Amino acid sequence: MRVLVTGGAGFIGANFVHWTRAHRPDVEVVVLDALTYAADGSSLGSARDEVELVHGDIADNALVDRLVKDADQVFHFAAETHNDNSLADPSPFVHTNVVGTFSLLEAVRRHGVRLHHVSTDEVYGDLELDDPARFTEATPYNPSSPYSATKAGSDLLVRAWVRSFGISATISNCSNNYGPYQHVEKFIPRQITNVIDGIAPKLYGDGLNVRDWIHVDDHNAAVWTIAEKGRSGETYLIGADGEQTNRDVVSAVLRELGQPEDAYELVRDRPGHDRRYAIDSSKLRGELGWRPTYADFSSGLRATIAWYRDNQDWWRPQKAATEAKYAQLNQ
Ligand code: NAD
Ligand code: DAU
């Protein structure tokens, strides 16, 4: 089996390549990645010798056509992914997330190749802190940011291509991932690397926003489960019951690194900041039998903190520029 992995040099995509080599050793992997600021070829590590890494844009129709034609399955991770960046400049988000997904859809349609589209719980908007509800596959779409709006648009394109053109495709919407190789612009790596550098972690607003954390390996195991056992046209929500306030996450990072747990700073809030995400993953668990292996967020977080402490060569080149960008926003 030959799979095309878009965005395979990014955080989740690179971990997906490692997961695939460990659990599906017979699968041949081709990565298509534009190698934007968010990518790092070194995240592929030893896999670099065994996977083909094609440097290119998912919106390049001719290139995408050639790569899709030779694949049995496409795993579509490539995207612009950071909400704060989408508020500063939405344009690359529309290009990659909407136009890029369109280009892939046309190619899988021409060549009859199955697609798994990787998406986010942010398409559903947010929940109140005191609302007992969680997102399900039936929750109406209500995205808040340019990032989540373009991801919502891409999901709807996939659904339309299944219904109107009969392509074979599955969709997953996952909650917040953590683990190795995540860019230092994102919340958990930013705060771990701040504390390592003696900088106070920065919490937006009152720090009480809630995210539903899942380890990246559990996300990737679920993606394989859905691609292998899921029904075409169906959406599956992926989550590991990992709701935490941002303040609790930062306090846990501070504690683990030997600092007082309230040594954080409250900074300017993100405009349109979603209050809470929470996933009900009963459909995935009940129909396809998936279960997370990192049931305990604190042990997964501890392992992630250790990874950033031990792999400073990987993140240091990005750190100063990332913090300079945040400083301009007073964040
Ligand atoms: P990331 O930003 O770390 O990586 C994205 C990758 O896509 C990078 O390697 C980048 O170079 C590549 N890319 C960007 N534009 C491209 C283009 N035009 N052509 C080819 N490649 C391009 O992102 P991530 O956090 O690994 O997210 C991967 C996917 O998972 C995204 O679709 C995202 O929406 C989804 N997702 C992420 C999370 C999360 O918590 N990070 C949660 C749910 C879903
Ligand atoms: O829910 C899935 C989504 O999770 C993915 O689709 C996105 O690609 C991914 O970036 C993530 O989006 P968030 O906006 O939730 O993640 P981020 O890491 O940017 O922020 C997590 C929370 O922490 C959010 O409430 C904002 C807050 N935050 C973030 C940063 C960077 C802070 O308080 N301080 C910070 O410095």
- Residues 98, 223: one domain? yes
Which structural domain range is residue 147 located in? 2-178+213-238
The SS3 of residue 183 is coil
Using DSSP, state whether 272 is helix, strand or coil: coil
In this structure, which residue's CA is closest to atom 44 in ligand 1?
120
Q: What is the pLDDT of residues 166-219, one digit of tens each?
A: 999 999 999 999 999 999 999 999 999 999 999 999 999 999 999 999 999 999
CA distances for 69 relative to 59, 79, 80, 159, 237, angstroms: 16, 21, 25, 21, 29
What pLDDT score does 143 carry? Answer: 98
Mean pLDDT of all residues in 13-22 = 98
Task: Mark whether 60 and 142 lie in a shared domain.
Answer: yes
Residue 160's nearest CA partner among 109, 214, 219, 217 is 109
User: 10 Å Cβ neighbour count for 293?
Assistant: 10
**Shared-domain flag, residues 255 and 199:** yes
Same domain, 161 and 16: yes
Q: What is the pLDDT of residues 223-264, one digit of tens each?
A: 999 999 999 999 999 999 999 999 999 999 999 999 999 999
Average pLDDT over residues 310-330: 97
Q: Is the beta carbon of 57 within 6 A of some atom in ligand 1? A: yes
Counting residues of the chain whose pLDDT is more than 70, the rounded percentage is 100
Assess whether 201 and 225 both reside in one domain. Answer: no
Burial class of 317 by CB neighbour count within 10 A (0 to 12, 13 to 18, 19+)? exposed
Domain check: are 45 and 156 in the same one? yes
What's the confidence (pLDDT) of residue 175? 98
CATH number, domain of 247, equals 3.90.25.10
* Residue 296: predicted pLDDT: 86
150, part of any domain: yes
Residue 42 in any domain: the answer is yes
Q: What is the pLDDT of residues 253-270, one digit of tens each?
A: 999 999 999 999 999 999
Q: Is the pLDDT of residue 295 over 80?
A: no
3-state SS class at 35: coil
138 and 80 belong to one structural domain = yes
| Confidence check: pLDDT of 117 > 90 | yes
What separation in Å is there between the alpha carbon of 240 and the centre of ligand 2?
Answer: 17
Ligand nearest to the CA of 42: 1
195/143 same-domain check: no
How large is the average pLDDT for residues 138-148?
98
Kindly state whether residue 261 falls inside one of the protein's structural domains.
yes
Q: Are residues 34 and 162 in the same domain?
A: yes
Average pLDDT over residues 108-130: 98
What is the rounded average pLDDT for all residues in the chain?
97
Minimal CA–CA distance to 126: which of 269, 274, 271, 244?
274
Establish whether residue 175 lines the binding site of ligand 2, counting it when its CB lies within 6 angstroms of any ligand atom. yes
Segment 267-284 mean pLDDT:
98
Atom of ligand 1 nearest to the CA of 58: 19
Q: Are residues 222 and 165 in the same domain?
A: yes
Residues 123 and 47 in one domain: yes
Structural domains of the chain, count: 2
Q: Give the pair of three-digit tokens for residue 323.
A: 């913090």
